[in-house]
Homo-oligomer: A and B are copies of this chain.
Amino acid sequence: MTKKIPTRIYLNEEEMPKNWYNLRADMQEKPDPLLHPGTLQPVTAADLAPVFCKGVIEQELDDTTCLIPIPEGVLDFYHAYRPSPLVRAYYLEKVLDTPAEIYYKFEGTNTSGSHKLNSAGAQAFYAKEDGLTSLTTETGAGQWGTAMAMACGFFDLGLTVYMVKISSEQKPYRKALMEAYGANVIPSPSNTTESGKKLQEKNPGTGGSLGCAITEAIETAVKTDKCRYVLGSVLNHVLLHQSIIGQEAKTALDKYGVKPDIIIGCAGGGSNLGGLIAPFMGEKLAGKSNARIIAVEPASCPSFTRGRYAYDFGDTGMTTPLIRMQTLGSGFIPSANHAGGLRYHGMNSTLSKLYRDGFLEARSEVQTDVFDAAVRFMKVEGILPAPESSHAIKAAIDEALKCKQTGEKKVILFGLSGTGFFDMTAYTAYNDKTMSDQVPTDADLEKGFASIPDIPQNK
């Protein structure tokens, strides 16, 4: 007889993964290297040293080591809030009346409310190891900023957060939360940087953007003694840290002999998706699994489904290395979309490459449909999902309903990356039916594409 699978599976402390999973090591064709925007040559560790901590630079440039040991100090941090539960969605299965088995890995039980803490802790640890005294970063919806504030509180580091101005006004409580952990939160664009001043001159009264906040944070990090910059998504070292999600999920499923047929994650910059799928994609690349792996993005910011595969900047100020990725252009301005965390113009390079090579599927959803799924989910599973995570819920429900039609008993795993505690404005808009499902026109996209650098590599 099969062992009954509990509703919530928690690994014991001894069972918890001791390694991160570097997916690039499994890829026969690697993602293209980051390029220095001046020389158009692959970046070196020395190029990145003024901006990033040593530990993460090493990880960013390593595409051959598959299992990278998690340092003791980071494991110690993880023990403060991990393991996260892997939940069997018995209640959702029942209400959908589907033969499918649905599981979700829930990353929202920590105070930051999302998976972002997994990389925040690692990056703060490496900063401490380098003898730094402070860090800078940006935040949009506020999850990453909160995670960094918590990590810096834990490791006793100073932190300056450039928060997209419109978000800081819409989410005063997010700001208060970061401040409660000791962070200095500055609405961006600000007058504390040259790039911030310049942007305000060009666009008076602008509400800011993630790309602009990144530029300000990098400028401040480079100008400040014993300070570096940290980023919450897009780069490969962030996905590496997030692989703790997939590592735990796989360990927990293996314990019960369960193999997922479909793995689903929401995708903004790619950190949650990349972290969730890492070991499963590894099996798929090795031919040991036929699982379908699906990225779900907002129709308002469709870098996978309507973007171009090109070398592009990570920020509006065009100060980052060039990244070959699915992109809408760093000049793309997403239409109003409450799922703030998914409003980024680009996509992690590894995920972009896997998508181009046919290992990763992608689809986009408008947000009313996403919130329909969220409310359906929350009434039976209890958890209030973040708008970002609800994109994955939407796809999981759709796949489960397909199984109902075909009678197939597939195993679906999706990532529930966070809670919606600070997104009640969006839920209110949904309840009041004032939510916009606006999608960019082809002309909107062309404007964004025009900002993609005109370099030989993009011909």
Contacts and interface: CB of A to CB of B under 8 A. Distances in A.
A111 B377 CA distance: 13
Most chain B CB within a 10 A radius of its CB, from A12, A13, A424: A424
Contacts of A113: 421
Given A111-B383, A154-B379, A382-B110, A79 B180 contact: no
A6 interface: yes
Contacts of A111: 378, 382-384, 419
Contacts of A13: 6-8
A80 B384 contact: no
A141 to B, nearest CB: 15
Interface residues of A, number: 42
Contacts of A256: none
A380 B173 CA distance: 21
Contacts of A424: 172-173, 176-177, 180
A154 B381 CA distance: 8
Nearest to A146: B384
Contacts of A378: 111, 153, 180-181
Contacts of A419: 111
Nearest to A150: B382
A41 interface: no
Each complex incorporates copies of this chain amounting to 2
Contacts of A10: 10
Contacts of A150: 382
Contact of A153 (B109, B379, B427): B379
Contacts of A80: 7, 91, 381-382
Given A10-B10, A79-B8, A431 B180 contact: yes
A375 B180 contact: yes
A182 interface: yes
Contacts of A380: 153-154
A314 to B, nearest CB: 29
A133 to B, nearest CB: 17
B109 A154 contact: no
B379 A427 contact: no
Interface string A164-186: 00000000110011011110000
A319 to B, nearest CB: 32
Most chain B CB within a 10 A radius of its CB, from A113, A150, A384, A430: A384
A109 B81 CA distance: 11
A428 interface: yes
A118 to B, nearest CB: 13
Given A419-B111, A427-B176, A379 B8 contact: no
Contacts of A176: 424-425, 427-428, 431
Interface in A327-386: 375, 378-384
A384 B180 contact: yes
Contacts of A7: 13, 79-80
A232 to B, nearest CB: 17
A382 B427 contact: no
A271 to B, nearest CB: 19
28 contacts: A6-B13, A7-B13, A8-B13, A8-B79, A10-B10, A81-B382, A111-B382, A113-B421, A150-B382, A153-B378, A153-B379, A153-B380, A172-B424, A172-B428, A173-B173, A173-B421, A173-B425, A176-B424, A176-B425, A176-B427, A176-B428, A176-B431, A179-B428, A180-B378, A180-B384, A181-B378, A181-B379, A421-B422
**Closest 6 A/B residue pairs (Cβ):** A173-B424, A6-B13, A153-B379, A10-B10, A176-B424, A7-B79
Given A177-B427, A180-B378, 11 more contacts: A6-B79, A8-B13, A8-B79, A109-B109, A111-B383, A150-B382, A154-B379, A176-B427, A180-B427, A182-B379, A421-B422
